[in-house]
Structure 1
Amino acid sequence: MDVQQPTKRAFKRRPVPQQDHVSDLRRVMVLLALNVGAFGIGVTEFVAMGLLPYIADAFGRTEDSAGRMISMYALGVVVGAPLITVLTGSIPRRRMLLILMVAFTIGNGATVWAGTLGSFEAVMASRFIAGLPHGAYFSVAGLVAASLAKPGNRGKTVALSGVGLAVATVIGVPAAQVLGQVYGWRSAFAFVAVIGLAALVSLWFAVPHMNRMPKTRPIEELSALVTPQVLLTVAIGTIGFGGMFAVYTYITWTMTEVAGLPESWIWIVLMAYGIGMVVGTYIGGWLSDRIGEWGILVALVLMVVMLTAFYFTSAHAILGTANFLIIGLLGSILVPNLQTRLMDVAGRAQTLAAALNQAALNMANAGGAALGGWIIASGYGYRAPSLGGAGLALAAILITVPTILLYRRRRKVTL
């Protein structure tokens, strides 16, 4: 009598849906997954600013010297954003998001390891590596969101794809700040690496195959580098956003040394800024869908006013914190408006143009930090960087107005 042997069930991988067949629920899941990654990037980008005094003490560095760690991360973004984008145009967008998040997780883990070695030079190198996938991630994530958006909601959907960065400044950065204060600054970057793993899993399960996003060739992407409107928009972001970082980079010293706020309460200041970013991200998307590129001008004009005001309000803990919240709000209004404008003027070089926006914001990060450090080192005090930042926002306005008017005039001629 034959005994029938039990058969093993073959493991079958569940097929990944294509974007043509995604439901509204799947669209929400994609946005949530994209924002887990944005959350991790937001924490790693901003937490070093709050922990800068601890990092400076750990390595026996001056505040200006320790601030170069932030500039090194920004340099990684500036280098990685265009380079990765140009060289990976043929890789499917879902796979690209996964690769970038793996690189991000490894880079932040390297910062923990480098800190264990006690070498500031190794930490600097690890921050450069951690910054490399930043710009390309937001570029691809924004374009994925735009491709999945319903008609008339592109600006809002693009803004929502990056709201995790704003939420990071409300929850993630203060949490990492506390971790860094209690368990040492390296624990904050270990926290970021864990978020990176969570983002990787979320993206794997949520993002469909983006079959309506065509592959691009390097020559097509590089065309963005010779498009005047793209380059002018990048200049607006680089200069205009720099004013915010001139203040943010040294906010811990400003609020403790000038406003007299206890160091243990700095997380409240960072959380206030984050709340402003969350609100500003939503307003920025709303403005983009309604008044288009003029939203950039609105944000910059208000930035000049509020950065100037911070010079006076930063002497008072409550007023300074409230002012800092509004500065965060205005910066977040600027980001989605710059992103959608680049999509409009870039032609077929969409991915590189979007990556250049992230490069611009991080050049602003490096430039703003350097300007603020120079002003402080020159003996003008911790309040003065806000006036330098207001000057940068004003310079960006002088570029924005003729850039928009020239673009609109040429469109009328071609029509």
Structure 2
Amino acid sequence: MPRAVYLLGLAIFAQGTSELMLAGLLPELATDLHVSIPAAGLLISAFAVGMLVGAPILAVGTLRWSRRAAMLAFLTIFALTHVAGALTSSYGVLLATRVAGAFVYAGFWAVASVTAIELAGPQARAKAMSILAGGLTVATIIGLPAGTLLGQHLGWRAAFWAVAALSVLAIAGVVTTIPRGRSESVPQLRQELRNMANPQLWIAYGTTALSTGAILVIFSYLAPLLTETTGLSEAWVPVILALYGVGSLIGITISGRTADRRPFRTLVVSLAGVVAAAVILALATSTPWIAVPAIVLVGTFGFATNPAVNSRVFSVAGSAPTLAAAFNISAFNVGITVGPWLGGLALDAGAGYPTVGWIGAALALLAAATIPLALRTAARNRPTVGQVEYESASSITGR
């Protein structure tokens, strides 16, 4: 695997730390900004909305830019939004900086995804994407608990300053590893748009959104769930978030090795694991020795879906992957938006934190329901020789 793919993963780590760290800072943010915890949780959803909109707009807007120039521009703006966020005392301004930062983060994801896939080659799509998304997983293991610790001891603004510094390091990484100039194959907007009519892409996007929502509805409220329902002290929150990240890294690493060959089997096992872990969490939220392993398993199985859905999108997109990849990032962020929103609705209605486990299980079941539909659609649109395709139903069942 080219070294540049790993360094792009490090850039995702820098930005992903910001995407994730608010899950461990909701109580501090709510207190300092004088808002409720569900309102503070909307800062997570606002970030997802920015990514939802930013990915396709920036993918099209920078289609003819060099990928190096696009990624450097996105990272610079991302760093500046975090400086602004660290300096403000207004909830509204912070909300706006979260949307703006996420907007360019989505653009970076879209360009970096296509770059990594091109560098890795068609037989290693899932592995390349597992490395790229692994940067986000490492952010869960290191960036998230570190941001939580900074927020608890130095105030949440210190975490924002740290992300700005990490973004500057990511800029240096892109400068030193990504060559100047455009790609040999310049994307054509007409072909990119024509490719979006493929129904297999939209089924894959549905799987992406639902599977992501299933884990984010749980992840977004982990800090208050652990302290208010499970009964653990705040000092345990960074530790458990780090364990969640370790589980996520294990899941995405294993899936990255299997998803290119067996994407459907990978999805079935992963989604079944999310359902089981979410149900166990919902039933045993107040029992730490059961709830904590269940949380780790949510991360393990939840992140294992990532390489499979990414591999599917790129295989269907063929020679016009830029816009397809951008919409897949939007699909991830539909899940990131809807998950915390559904959890917030339940909590505002008076339901306890165990409810987020039940919502997560329901969303994972809906994601699993897209698999038979994808199989039928793929069967009706058999690929030409050499095109990567999903497994047949018999390979899933083992017959």
**TM-score, structure 1 normalization:** 0.88
Q: Is 2:302 the partner of 1:331?
A: yes
Q: Deviations over 1:200-232 (max 9, x none)?
A: 001100123576552223333333443211112
Deviates most, 370-379 or 194-203: 370-379
Q: Which runs of 4+ in 1 moved over 4 A?
A: 209-213, 412-415
- Number of residue pairs matched by the alignment: 386
- Contact kept in structure 1, 2:84 and 2:97, CA below 8 Å: yes
Aligned to 1:313: 284
What CA distance in whole angstroms lies between the structure 2 residues aligned with 1:229 and 1:293?
14
Structure 1 counterpart of 2:326, from 352, 355, 362: 355
Q: Secondary structure of the equivalent of 1:214?
A: coil
Larger radius of gyration: 1
Q: Is 2:144 the partner of 1:170?
A: no
What CA distance in whole angstroms lies between the structure 1 residues aligned with 2:266 and 2:322?
22
| Residues 280/312 of structure 1: CA separation in 2 closer, same or farther (3 Å cut) | same
What CA distance in whole angstroms lies between the structure 1 residues aligned with 2:38 and 2:98?
17
Q: Is 2:60 the partner of 1:86?
A: yes
- Per the TM alignment, residue 271 of structure 1 is displaced from its structure 2 partner at its CA by 0.2
- Per the TM alignment, residue 394 of structure 1 is displaced from its structure 2 partner at its CA by 0.7
- Contact kept in structure 1, 2:251 and 2:302, CA below 8 Å: yes
Letter in 2 for 1:305: A
Q: Is 2:90 the partner of 1:119?
A: yes
Q: Which runs of 5+ in 1 are unaligned?
A: 1-23
| Residues 229/412 of structure 1: CA separation in 2 closer, same or farther (3 Å cut) | closer
What CA distance in whole angstroms lies between the structure 2 residues aligned with 1:154 and 1:210?
23
- Contact kept in structure 2, 1:92 and 1:215, CA below 8 Å: no
What CA distance in whole angstroms lies between the structure 2 residues aligned with 1:411 and 1:261?
53
Letter in 2 for 1:248: F
Structure 2 counterpart of 1:64, from 24, 38, 51: 38
Aligned to 2:169: 198
Letter in 1 for 2:93: A
- Per the TM alignment, residue 106 of structure 1 is displaced from its structure 2 partner at its CA by 1.7
- Contact kept in structure 2, 1:293 and 1:341, CA below 8 Å: no
Q: Which runs of 5+ in 2 are unaligned?
A: 387-399
Aligned to 1:183: 154
- Contact kept in structure 2, 1:43 and 1:169, CA below 8 Å: yes
Q: Secondary structure of the equivalent of 1:153?
A: helix
Q: Secondary structure of the equivalent of 2:351?
A: coil
Q: Is 2:354 the partner of 1:383?
A: yes
- Contact kept in structure 2, 1:223 and 1:349, CA below 8 Å: no
What CA distance in whole angstroms lies between the structure 1 residues aligned with 2:366 and 2:121?
36
| Residues 225/93 of structure 1: CA separation in 2 closer, same or farther (3 Å cut) | same
Deviates most, 305-314 or 336-345: 305-314
Percent sequence identity over matched residues?
29
What CA distance in whole angstroms lies between the structure 1 residues aligned with 2:206 and 2:320?
17
What CA distance in whole angstroms lies between the structure 1 residues aligned with 2:67 and 2:320?
15
Aligned to 1:42: 16
Q: Deviations over 1:101-134 (max 9, x none)?
A: 11221222221122xxx21110110000010022
Aligned to 1:239: 210
What CA distance in whole angstroms lies between the structure 2 residues aligned with 1:83 and 1:366?
18
What CA distance in whole angstroms lies between the structure 1 residues aligned with 2:162 and 2:264?
37
Aligned to 1:266: 237
